[in-house]
Amino acid sequence: MKTIRVPRVGGPEVMELVDAPTPKPGPGEATVRVEAAGVNFVDIYHRSGAYPREAPFGLGEEGAGVVESVGPGVTELRTGDRVAWASAAGSYATEVVLRVDQAVRIPEHVTSQQAAAVMLQGMTADYLARSTFPLAAAHACVVHAAAGGVGLLLVQMAKSAGARVIGTTSMESKAALARQAGADEVLLPADGPFAESVRALTGGRGVDVVYDSIGAATFEQSLLALRPRGMLVLFGQSSGRVPPVDLQVLAARGSLFVTRPTLRNYLATRAELLERADRVLGAVARGELAVRVHGTYPLARAADAHRDLASRATTGKLLLVT
């Protein structure tokens, strides 16, 4: 099989396409032929060393494909089943072994590319909008990077819950996509400090929650955009890590809340994985959740996919296809 290996942490150039033995499934496992693998910022964090891992290692956690074989005692899956996953290490490959409890079946009318595009980012948007800060019709929220992979899905879910959505993007072409997804207003850098614009749009009150995947570049303004007792949900750091925070600042600005959630903690059980995945994939199957794939790349061009994602010039999802 072919797989992307990282012999040492560093830039996109450290990724190598290598030959490796096709993995055999053990008890409770399945070998899956990967049809599409999702490219995510967490992969960049692993490759760069921002999230340390012992090298050498395989990249990628998310994908979709077809079961080729199952290990001893496995009854939940059969050869030929179409499955998707969000937490199987080494998914940048033509084959991957995953634990059966990591896999979910792909519904009819959902392609492998669609499934690979929404497993990690779709379930992230689901826990953000339903669990970390459960949105309802009375709420107003800010979604940073509203035309990104999570952003476009989160905007749709927030509007489905009835919330008012204020998006931020870097350029007008992205703003158009965010509006198409349902954003009520979209703020651009030319609009000035976004906290001032948010307060103007909300009659000085501020929003109930800010969903922030950018980190260092937006953190201060995100706090300023909140109403008293509002919540800043910091779920990414594409611009860098947020420096240490004086907690007295939260008191001074209205008893604010800050949380740093991760998907892993919102998929604590098999039942929770199935619930979130079924909800997201079901919405795609019914046409209620639009999936935007910005680009597809062969495995050999994984480095290009990382460069493009890091440039923040993309909209929607990037996939590696085999």
State residue 316's pLDDT score. 86
| DSSP E strands, 28-94 | 29-39, 57-58, 63-70, 82-85
Consecutive 10-residue runs of the chain (322 residues): their mean pLDDT? 97 97 96 97 93 94 98 95 96 97 96 97 97 98 95 97 97 96 97 96 98 96 98 93 94 97 95 97 97 96 96 89 93
- Whole-angstrom Cα distance, residue 161 to residue 139? 9
Q: Under 8 Å CB-to-CB from 246, ≥6 apart: which residues? A: none
| Whether residue 272 sits in one domain with residue 256 | no
The domain that contains 167 carries what CATH number? 3.40.50.720
| Whether residue 184 sits in one domain with residue 104 | no
- Judged by DSSP in three states, 67 sits in strand
- Give the Cβ contact number of residue 21 at 10 Å: 7
Q: How many domains does the chain have?
A: 2
Helix H or strand E encompassing 165 = strand 164-168
Domain end, chosen from 260, 288, 309, is at 260
Helix H or strand E encompassing 95 = strand 95-99
Distance between alpha carbon 281 and the CA centroid of its chain, in Å? 14
| Whether residue 273 sits in one domain with residue 247 | no
Range of the domain at 217: 136-260
State residue 155's pLDDT score. 98
| Whether residue 308 sits in one domain with residue 198 | no
- Whole-angstrom Cα distance, residue 225 to residue 195? 4
Q: Under 8 Å CB-to-CB from 102, ≥6 apart: which residues? A: 85, 86, 87, 88, 273
State residue 238's pLDDT score. 87
State residue 312's pLDDT score. 79
Distances in Å between the Cα of 68 and the Cα atoms of 80, 89, 108, 158 are 6, 18, 19, 38
- Whole-angstrom Cα distance, residue 153 to residue 313? 17
308: phi then psi, degrees, rounded to nearest 5: -65, -40
| Whether residue 99 sits in one domain with residue 16 | yes
